[in-house]
């Protein structure tokens, strides 16, 4: 389904994504325990914090009967001694059959792929992309709505540094009839490269700083946290000016369609009020749980163990 590695949204087509979603549906209904051999090992190498991505990949492998080796905090590994990600991956690829890598520097996943002996999954490289999250988000939309085609999607919050929204915007462009609302303050606006890609794909989009005016029109509200850790140097004080940009409450939901979806890649840090959790349109926890069958599909596909 995929090439040797999953580094970017550019690594899959709409047909490949839909085949993966069908496989994930199958795995959810028919748990694939025993699909992997006991000596097939997934390695997770994380230079940045993670809960859902790392644990869902590890749970996916274990639930298929495989093994897991993990570096949950590479700062406690030889990285602290100055080892490069390329060297770490070269060594780790001799221990396992697939490696999931997260790193704060853009391009690090591609660097890892150049030295690895086994397939690489990019679990986030800096503020660029997070392709497995985009596949998870699309899978969740299809599962909840029945289809992705024709959806009006609001991407809201940190659109400058948020790699999940970069990948999701690019992936949505694979489906026809999509309209994307890009809702963010000016200093957190969507990068030019993403906008140019949407234009090239013929995707209709609109940039705005006002969420309220589009709430009645959207089918999906995809919220993201403002990523404090990305504000560095001279920009660090700017975080205080935008940290409270987004706040979704019960009042927000009153203006939305009765069948709209509220999504979030998590963690949230205050942008969604707890009262929203009880609304059936709030699906971010189901979204996170979908990570296991979806990532089972990725692992099985990349290891050629789909049946």
DSSP assignment of 194-239 equals HHHHHHHTT-EEEEES-SGGGTTT-SEEEE----GGG--GGGGGGH
268-306: pLDDT as tens digits: 998 999 999 999 999 999 999 999 999 999 999 999 998
Q: Which of 44, 53, 140, 252 is catalytic?
A: 53
122-157: pLDDT as tens digits: 999 988 999 999 999 999 999 999 999 999 999 999
CB-based contact 208:269 (threshold 8 Å): no
- In angstroms, the CA 154 to CA 141 distance is 13
Q: Which of 130, 142, 143, 295 is catalytic?
A: 130
Longest dimension (CA), the chain: 54
In the annotation, is 90 catalytic? no
Domain spanning 31-126, CATH architecture: 3-Layer(aba) Sandwich (3.40)
Query: Is it the case that residue 2 has pLDDT exceeding 60?
Result: no
Residue 218, classed as helix, strand or coil, is coil
- What count of residues does the chain have? 307
205-261: pLDDT as tens digits: 999 999 999 999 999 999 999 877 778 787 888 888 888 889 999 999 999 999 999
pLDDT for 233:
83
pLDDT for 306:
81
| Phi, psi dihedrals of residue 303, rounded to the nearest 5° | -100, 5
| Phi, psi dihedrals of residue 257, rounded to the nearest 5° | -60, 150
In the annotation, is 160 catalytic? no
In the chain, domain spans: 31-126, 131-284
Q: Which two tokens stand for residue 204?
A: 């209709």
In the annotation, is 81 catalytic? yes
In the annotation, is 53 catalytic? yes
Task: Identify any residues that bridge with 223 across adjacent strands, giving them in sequence order.
Answer: 156
Q: Which of 14, 26, 52, 243 is catalytic?
A: 52
Q: What is the pTM of this model?
A: 0.94
Q: Which of 29, 30, 81, 254 is catalytic?
A: 81
**Confidence bin at 3 (pLDDT 50/70/90):** low
Q: Which of 54, 102, 163, 179 is catalytic?
A: 102
Whole-number average pLDDT of the chain: 94
Query: Is it the case that residue 1 has pLDDT exceeding 80?
Result: no
In the annotation, is 26 catalytic? no
189-213: pLDDT as tens digits: 999 999 999 999 999 999 999 999 9
267: left (phi over 0), alpha (psi -120 to 50) or beta: beta
24-45: pLDDT as tens digits: 999 999 999 999 999 999 999 9
Query: Is it the case that residue 109 has pLDDT exceeding 70?
Result: yes
Using CA atoms, how far residue 174 sits from 121, 129, 148, 150, 162, in Å, is: 20, 16, 10, 11, 20
Same topology between domain 31-126 and domain 131-284: yes
Query: Is it the case that residue 105 has pLDDT exceeding 80?
Result: yes
Peptide bond into 267 cis (omega under 30): yes
Residue 241 neighbours by CB under 8 Å, 6+ apart: 185, 187
Residue with token string 């298929």: 64
Domain spanning 131-284, CATH architecture: 3-Layer(aba) Sandwich (3.40)
Using CA atoms, how far residue 113 sits from 2, 6, 17, 45, 71, in Å, is: 14, 9, 21, 13, 17
Query: Is it the case that residue 76 has pLDDT exceeding 90?
Result: no
Start-to-end C-alpha separation, the chain: 13
């Amino acid at each position: 389904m995929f090439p040797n590695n999953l580094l970017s949204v550019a690594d899959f087509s709409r047909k490949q994504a839909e085949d993966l979603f069908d496989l994930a549906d199958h795995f959810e209904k028919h748990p694939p325990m025993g699909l992997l051999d006991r000596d097939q090992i997934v390695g997770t190498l994380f230079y940045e914090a993670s809960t859902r991505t790392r644990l869902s990949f590890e749970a996916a492998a274990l639930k298929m009967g495989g093994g897991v080796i993990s570096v949950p905090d590479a700062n406690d590994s030889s990285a602290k001694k100055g080892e490069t990600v390329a060297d770490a991956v070269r060594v780790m690829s001799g221990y396992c059959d697939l490696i999931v890598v997260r790193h704060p520097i853009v391009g690090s996943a591609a660097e890892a792929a150049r030295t690895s002996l086994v397939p690489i999954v990019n679990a986030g490289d800096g503020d660029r992309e997070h392709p497995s999250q985009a596949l998870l988000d699309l899978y969740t939309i299809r599962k909840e709505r029945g289809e992705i085609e024709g959806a009006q999607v609001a991407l809201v919050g940190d659109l400058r540094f948020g790699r999940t929204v970069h990948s999701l915007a690019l992936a949505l462009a694979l489906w026809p009839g999509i309209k994307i609302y890009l809702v963010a303050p000016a200093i957190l606006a969507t990068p030019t490269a993403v906008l140019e890609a949407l234009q090239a794909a013929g995707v209709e989009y609109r940039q705005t700083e006002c969420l309220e005016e589009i709430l009645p029109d959207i089918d999906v509200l995809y919220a993201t946290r403002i990523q404090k850790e990305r504000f560095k140097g001279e920009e660090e004080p700017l975080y205080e000016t935008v940290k409270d940009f987004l706040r979704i409450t019960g009042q927000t939901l009153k203006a939305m369609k009765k069948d709209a979806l509220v999504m979030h890649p998590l963690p949230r840090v205050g942008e969604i009020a707890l009262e929203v959790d009880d609304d059936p349109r709030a699906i971010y926890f189901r979204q996170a749980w979908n990570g296991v069958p979806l990532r089972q599909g990725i692992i099985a596909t990349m290891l050629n163990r789909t049946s």
